[in-house]
Amino acid sequence: MSAAQREKIQQLGFWDSDVSAPKHDEITMWAFERAEDLAKRYVKFRGEAWFEKHSCAVGEQWPIDWVKRLHNEFPGLEEPPAKRSKLVVRREIEAVLREREPEYHPRQIPRNQRILGYADVLLHCVGERLSASKLVSSSEPPGWDVYDSDFRIVVEVKSVLPTLGELMRQLNLYRQSCRHIVLIAPDDRYADVLAEQEVLFVKYQP
C-alpha cells in the first residue's frame, strides 16, 4: 500500500476496493431486499445472551416461556399487549460509520467523530422489551411494560473474500461504530471462524 493510499484511509476510513466490482452491487441489493430476514437471523445467532439484554424475540408473538415467567412473578397479569412483528425500521446503503462517542445511542448522530468506513447496508432495528411491574403501595393489579430496544446491524458484502487478516481488521475497525455485523459472500470458507468472532456469515445464493 502506497503512502497516498494510507493517507486516504486515515482521512476517509477503511477504503474497500470491492465496492467497485459489479458483483458487489448485485449482492448488496440481494441483502437490502432481505433486510428483515437478516436481522432476525442475527438475533437468533446471538442467542440467549442477546435475549437477556434486549428481550427482543423474533416473530409476531412474545416467547411463551418468557410470558409464563412474568405471569408467575406477577399474578393477576392479563394477556400481554400485541408485539411489533418487524425489527427493521430503516435501511441505508453505503452508510457512513463514525467512531462511537463514549455514551453513544443508536438514535443519535455522532458529532465530529472520525469516519471509520462505510456499511454496505446498515439496518436500523427496534426490538421490544417485555416486562411487568406492580406498585407496592397500590391495590391495582400488575401491568405490562414494553420498552423499545434500539440497535444497528452492519451488513458487509464481499464479492471476493480478502485474506482473513484483512477481513478481520476491517470488521474490527467497524466495531468501533457498530458491534453487530453480518458478512455476506459467495465463499463460506471463513464461516466457522467468523462465528467465533460473533460475526454472522450468510452465504450469497442468488
Residues of the chain with pLDDT under 70: 1-15, 48-59, 101-112, 137
CB 30: neighbour CB atoms within 10 A? 16
pLDDT score at 15: 61
Which strands sit side by side in the sheet containing 181-185, from one edge to the other?
88-98, 115-133, 143-157, 181-185, 199-203
Torsion of CA 119, 123, 126, 127, to 10 degrees: -100
Domain assignment of residue 1, yes or no? no
pLDDT score at 9: 47
pLDDT score at 19: 81
Asked if 120 and 156 count as a contact pair (C-beta separation under 8 A), the reply is yes
Q: Domain count of the chain?
A: 1
Residue 154 is placed in which grid cell?
Answer: 452492519
Q: What is the DSSP letter of 157?
A: E
User: pLDDT exceeding 70 applies to what percent of the chain?
Assistant: 80
Domain assignment of residue 3, yes or no? no
Domain assignment of residue 143, yes or no? yes
pLDDT score at 64: 84
Q: What is the DSSP letter of 196?
A: H
Question: Is residue 49 helix, strand or coil?
Answer: helix
Crossing angle of the two packed helices 35-54 and 22-33, in degrees rounded to 10: 60
Residue 41 is placed in which grid cell?
Answer: 437471523
Domain extent, residue 183, equals 13-203
Domain assignment of residue 95, yes or no? yes
Q: What is the DSSP letter of 18?
A: G
Domain assignment of residue 8, yes or no? no
Q: Each residue of 63-79: pLDDT tens digit?
A: 788 889 999 999 989 99
pLDDT score at 108: 59
Q: Average pLDDT, whole number, for the chain? A: 84
